[in-house]
Amino acid sequence: MRGVARAAALGALMLLSACGGAAVRVEPARLRVIAVPDTAAVYVDERFAGSARLLAVRPVAFPPSTRHVTVQADGYFPHDLEVVLRPGLTTVRVALRAVPP
């Protein structure tokens, strides 16, 4: 029985090594946020990602996935959205609404 297990393990190892062992590289998803006002803070999954001004010119990279994005600024209502980030560049445009005086 021990010989059978050893032969099975050797066969599995040979099968795996025949695949070449090359890892498939997935292109990252990059998120660009263009917001008014451009001083708005952008949070992705409740973590600060940067100001909208910065993310407009320097998108932030993530593994492709669905993310929760919040854009907020003093004097404006916050804007929340779910964004499906696919490989490549995704641009989100947000115009925040001012809080009435």
The CA distance from 62 to 89, in Å, is 10
What is the pTM (predicted TM-score) of this model?
0.74
pLDDT, tens digit only, all 101 positions of the chain: 565 555 555 555 555 555 555 667 779 999 999 999 999 999 999 999 999 999 999 999 999 999 999 999 999 999 999 999 999 999 999 999 999 99
- CATH code for the domain defined by 29-95: 2.60.40.1120
Burial bucket for residue 99 (CB in 10 Å: 0-12, 13-18, 19+): exposed
